């Protein structure tokens, strides 16, 4: 049985001329190009706005691995995001509070640029483990009960953080973002932007790699009919645990650089409603059954929100997301990509060209 697990990420041949390696290279190339365009324009605002959109791409993609592929709707995305952010707060607080101790001094000696990367890795590990634990506790629940449990997890974690004085409690905590960054012209914010861009590449590669693998087919079987999946030999509990772990880890990784971005982190902003809502709305709008849906949804909704924030109102943008979500649930329940996929399928069937 173990030999089978090794072959989990074997690319699907059907209609898939692009292997995982080629896809990673292509995504990276697009990312570099995207950065180059922003860098040439050189506006600091674009780094700030772009960072948020990219962060949502990672969150939406991460949510989709559990919510879209497996069909388990997680309302607790904000908790995983916040866990990443508070990992950073925790470590930087250790550095400042215990600056004289060996551990504190060692952390303090690490340049911020390197420290952020370490935080991303650490946050990924912690959030992944919490995802695994949450999955173990809640995945015996189905449908809406699972969703309620994830929401409860979010509330519990927020309460813990609010009452945990070391990380600032309800007051929040500061992280000093250096202005300069030696290698990039745009300073530290440009560096954070690049970091998030790389996380997007990682998230998309993971998401697409899963979708076209044995694991991805197992996920889809669980989403379609868990009992039939089990009867067909899919170890449903194990696969769901893998999904919560990967999904949680990616969300935490997206949250780790956030304190550096925002400078001053409060529980209300880390556990903000906008993360939970957007992480669900973006894949729903883009389409949940493939890796490309969350990307499309996050880029569209994320950019739109950034635009609405500066032109209309910074409070109004969640309302707009809500309205768009309702619109899509009614008009195109499978999202934008699902809508086009269904259209192509119908055309092909009614065309009758394929000898049917």
Angle, alpha carbons 183-189-191 (nearest 5°): 40
Binding track over 279-308 against other proteins, x by CB under 8 A: ----------x-------------------
Nearer CB in complex with other proteins: 55/289: 289
Site membership for other proteins, residue 354 (CB under 8 A)? yes
Q: Out of 225, 319, 323, 343, point to the residue binding other proteins (CB under 8 A).
A: 225
Smallest distance from other proteins to CB 182, Å = 48
Burial class (CB in 10 A: 0-12, 13-18, 19+), 40: exposed
Site membership for other proteins, residue 236 (CB under 8 A)? yes
Smallest distance from other proteins to CB 232, Å = 4
Angle, alpha carbons 265-268-270 (nearest 5°): 55
Site membership for other proteins, residue 14 (CB under 8 A)? yes
Which of 166, 170, 150, 160 lies closest to 267, judged by CA? 170
Burial class (CB in 10 A: 0-12, 13-18, 19+), 343: exposed
Q: Out of 54, 229, 280, 284, point to the residue binding other proteins (CB under 8 A).
A: 229
Cross-strand bridge partners of residue 264: 174
Q: Please answer whether residues 292 and 249 qualify as being in contact, where contact means their C-beta atoms are separated by less than 8 angstroms.
A: no
Nearer CB in complex with other proteins: 44/225: 225
Nearer CB in complex with other proteins: 85/243: 243
Smallest distance from other proteins to CB 225, Å = 5
Token couple for 326? 């309702």
Which of 134, 175, 131 lies closest to 266, judged by CA? 175
Site membership for other proteins, residue 227 (CB under 8 A)? yes
Site membership for other proteins, residue 232 (CB under 8 A)? yes
Site membership for other proteins, residue 13 (CB under 8 A)? yes
Quickly tell me which residue has 């952020």 as its tokens.
Answer: 116
- For other proteins, the binding residues (CB under 8 A) are 1, 3-4, 7, 10, 12-14, 214, 217-218, 220-221, 223-225, 227-237, 289, 345, 348-349, 354-356
């Amino acid at each position: 049985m173990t030999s089978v697990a090794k072959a989990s990420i074997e690319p699907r041949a059907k209609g898939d001329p692009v292997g995982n390696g080629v896809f990673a290279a292509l995504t990276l190339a697009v990312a570099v190009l995207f950065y180059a365009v922003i860098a040439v324009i050189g506006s600091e605002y674009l780094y700030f706005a772009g960072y948020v959109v990219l962060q949502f791409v990672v969150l939406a993609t991460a949510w989709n691995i559990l919510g879209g592929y497996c069909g388990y709707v997680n309302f607790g995305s904000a908790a995983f995001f916040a866990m990443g952010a508070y990992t950073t707060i925790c470590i930087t607080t250790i550095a400042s509070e215990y600056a004289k101790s060996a551990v504190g001094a060692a952390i303090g000696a690490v340049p911020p640029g390197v420290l952020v990367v370490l935080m991303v890795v650490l946050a990924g590990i912690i959030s992944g483990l919490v995802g695994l634990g949450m999955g173990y506790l809640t995945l015996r629940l189905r449908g809406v009960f699972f969703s309620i449990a994830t929401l409860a997890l979010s509330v519990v974690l927020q309460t813990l953080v609010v009452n945990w004085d070391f990380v600032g409690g309800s007051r929040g905590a500061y992280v000093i973002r250096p202005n300069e960054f030696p290698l990039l012209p745009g300073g530290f914010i440009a560096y954070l932007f690049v970091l998030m861009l790389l996380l997007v590449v990682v998230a998309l590669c993971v998401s697409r790699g899963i979708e076209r693998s044995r694991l991805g087919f197992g996920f889809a079987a669980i989403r379609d009919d868990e009992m039939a999946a089990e009867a067909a030999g899919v170890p449903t509990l194990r696969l769901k645990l893998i999904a919560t772990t990967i999904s949680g880890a990616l969300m935490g990784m997206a949250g780790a650089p956030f304190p550096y971005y925002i400078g001053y982190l409060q529980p209300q902003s880390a556990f903000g409603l906008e993360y939970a809502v957007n992480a669900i709305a973006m894949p729903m709008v883009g389409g949940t059954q493939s890796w490309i849906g969350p990307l499309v949804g996050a880029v569209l909704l994320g950019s739109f929100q950034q635009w609405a924030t500066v032109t209309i109102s910074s409070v109004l943008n969640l309302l707009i997301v809500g309205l768009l979500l309702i619109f899509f649930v009614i008009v195109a329940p499978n999202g934008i990509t699902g809508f086009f996929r269904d259209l192509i399928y119908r055309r092909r069937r009614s065309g009758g060209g394929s000898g049917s």
